[in-house]
A = this chain, B = another copy of it.
Amino acid sequence: MIPTERQAAAGDSGPERSLRVGVLTGGGDAPGLNAAICGLGRRLLPLGHRLFGFRHGWQGLIEDDAWEIEPREFSDLIARGGTILGAGSANPYNQPERDVPRVLETIQRRRLDAVVAIGGDGTLGAAQRLADEHGVSIVGVPKTIDNDLCGTDFTFGFFTAVERVTRCIDDLRTTAKAHDRVMVVECMGRHAGWITAYAGVAAAAEAILVPERPVELRELFGRLQVLRDAGHKSAVLAVAEGARLYRDGVLLSTTQTDRYGQFLTGGVARMVASEVQREVGWEARAVELGHLQRAGRPLAMDRIFALRLGAHAATLLLEGRFGRMAAMQNGEIADVPLAEAVARIRKLSDHFLDRYEAFFAFPNP
């Protein structure tokens, strides 16, 4: 039986000293953030350590906005979407003269022994600088729904996003077929096409457009024409929001802004749908999944993955191995220097793209 009394812990004489640990979740939210907090707390609290939750990423440390997380708050936390800490893109290095001292003061005032920063390259970049420049004891946990962070095979939230997109494409086939239409589905991914590629493969999208491979529209039209000639009456295209479209070698601008100057996502899918309809003569419609991709409860696998990363962050912290980030490497939980994670964006490999190119080149007549 797994969850008996933890005899080992009971046998412990307790930690020499109760540690005071701060935790924050920076950047956009991703399904699994609460599970990561859970993994951290469920390892630390039974050992007598204390956990302080800072609100809205680095903002909570800049403004000393925090509360002590109680054991009962973990009850079914692993299953919940969003983050109880609040997300947010504040970064002390945006105004370092003002905000870095504030962060350091909060750490001192709260007598924090360590800070666990859960976030993407922005959040972890600030973490690394605070560690390097001011000796703050920091451990990182990678978070980006886009899966484009270095140093880890996967990031949590990604599996959930892929599942959402896949089910949407599954469903959209019914309306595509009813209307003999092309549905162009825009997925998250400004710089890397992970979500688009995985969901596109899983849902058998007839074409997948990712930032890693520039798209010459005439080639896309050609491929669609092959499908039509082979008798296909409907199709679904999976398009990353950061896909780069070329017409006769000229890059098309896909970022549209509305009358208020707000960034118009949906630009790429709309453009592709318009072009397909006009040039191929195949009725086409755009669907932009947007925030739905990060909304709601995490998938079980993301819960467990995030829980394990959070627990490993606790282990790093207890072992005094600061400046490192919990990660998945070769299917196992491991850790890497923080610096490695924020070095650059991790893109789909040529190996991956070549492999699936072979797969998808197979027109179903």
Interface residues of A (CB under 8 A from B): 1-6, 8-9, 28-29, 31, 33, 39, 42-43, 45-46, 56, 71-72, 74-83, 86-88, 153, 159, 162-163, 165-166, 168, 170-175, 177-180, 183, 197-210, 213-216, 219-220, 222-223, 226, 256, 258-260, 262, 264, 266, 270-271, 273-275, 278, 285-288, 290-292, 294-297, 299-301, 303-304, 307, 311, 328-332, 353, 355-362, 364-365
Contact = CB atoms under 8 A, between A and B. Distances in A.
Contacts of A214: 1
A204 to B, nearest CB: 5
Nearest to A298: B202
Contacts of A213: 1-2
Nearest to A208: B2
B74 A3 contact: no
Given A1-B207, A278-B260, A296-B171, A362 B71 contact: yes
A294 to B, nearest CB: 5
11 contacts: A3-B359, A5-B222, A46-B361, A163-B301, A168-B292, A172-B291, A175-B291, A198-B304, A256-B259, A262-B273, A292-B292
A98 to B, nearest CB: 22
Contacts of A259: 256, 274
A28 to B, nearest CB: 8
B330 A2 contact: no
Contacts of A42: 359, 362
A292 B296 contact: no
A178 B89 CA distance: 12
Contact of A3 (B33, B168, B288, B356): B356
Contacts of A299: 163, 299
Contacts of A291: 172, 175, 183, 285, 287
Q: List 6 tightest A-B contacts by C-beta distance, closest first.
A: A6-B361, A3-B360, A331-B331, A171-B296, A81-B174, A82-B174
Contact of A178 (B82, B163, B332): B82
A126 B268 CA distance: 37
A211 to B, nearest CB: 11
B285 A210 contact: no
Given A1-B210, A81-B171, A274 B292 contact: no
Contact of A74 (B5, B77, B364): B364
Contacts of A270: 258, 260, 262, 264
B359 A311 contact: yes
A215 B3 contact: no
Contacts of A329: 331
